[in-house]
Amino acid sequence: MKVAETLAAIEALDLRQQALLSEQEQAAQRAKTDPTVRQLRQRRAALEAQVKRQASGLKQLELEVAELAGRAQNHEKAIYDGSVRHPADLQRRQHELETLRVKIQGLEETELSQMEAQEQTSAELDLVGEQLTEREHEVDQLRAADRGRAADLAEELTTAVEERRQLGESVTPSQLRSYERTAARRRPAVAKVVGGTCSGCRLPLPSRLLQEARGEQLVTCENCERILLL
Ligand SMILES: [Zn+2]
């Protein structure tokens, strides 16, 4: 195998190793609390608190209405059972009764709109609950798949590292350094020559360079410094 071919194989293994490591990293991230699950749980807690607040507000309104209705009933009773004789007293009671009825009506309207608001919050809470269950299920499945893949992933990594080590020994240290220097700056570090041009930067290569690349020598593109593979 020509040196450039060996270096290209080394590069393929390096990229494979990178991909496997990133796969491991992603699995490690998924093992932690899922951001969507966390967000949905926070939303659910906030909605639950809101429903509670709305319920206690409604309860308060109901008590107020009941209290005013009781007072209105007393006035009605007094007015109609003939127990109030004095015209001024009767007038005062009638006026108060009217005021109470207006207040009660206002409170009942508020009650109605608050009930609607509570229904909306409850519906949203249901929806968030469904979304949470769905996402938790998804996350469980992903984690189960990650656990199933973990052993294979570790084995593939070990193999890639070992193959890479062996290939690295089949070239000289300076050739390996040359590849590593280029790889640190650009990928791929080894570029195929296609139709007389460097596939890394797509510029045509001088015939002198093409001639050299046919030999055993390591030749780099004068433009992008990639190692050329003929
Ligand atoms: Zn180039």
Kindly report, residue by residue over 33-44, the tens digit of the pLDDT. Answer: 999 999 999 999
Residue 162 Cα to ligand 1 middle (Å):
30
Q: Of the spans 86-95, 123-132, 208-217, which averages the highest pLDDT?
A: 123-132
From the CA of 94, how far away is ligand 1's center (Å)?
99
Residue 179 burial (CB count, 10 A): 25
Q: What is the pLDDT of residues 35-72, one digit of tens each?
A: 999 999 999 999 999 999 999 999 999 999 999 999 99
Q: Ligand 1 centre and the CA of 17: distance in Å?
A: 25
CA dihedral 186, 187, 189, 194 (to 10 degrees): -120
Q: What is the whole-number distance in angstroms between the Cα of residue 23 and the centre of ligand 1? A: 30
DSSP H or E run through 88: helix 87-169
Q: How many A from CA of 214 to the centre of ligand 1?
A: 16
Q: What is the pTM of this model?
A: 0.70
Residue positions counted in the chain = 230
pLDDT at 147 over 90: yes
Q: Three-state SS for 119? A: helix
Question: Rounded to the nearest whole angstrom, what is the distance from the C-alpha of residue 204 to the centroid of ligand 1?
Answer: 8
Predicted pLDDT at 50: 97
- Tokens at 162, concatenated: 């070992």
Characterize 8-47 residue by residue with b for buried, 16 or more Cβ atoms within 10 angstroms of its Cβ, and e for exposed: bbbbbbbebbeebeebbeebeeeeeebeeeeebbebbeeb
User: Residue 200 above 90 pLDDT?
Assistant: yes
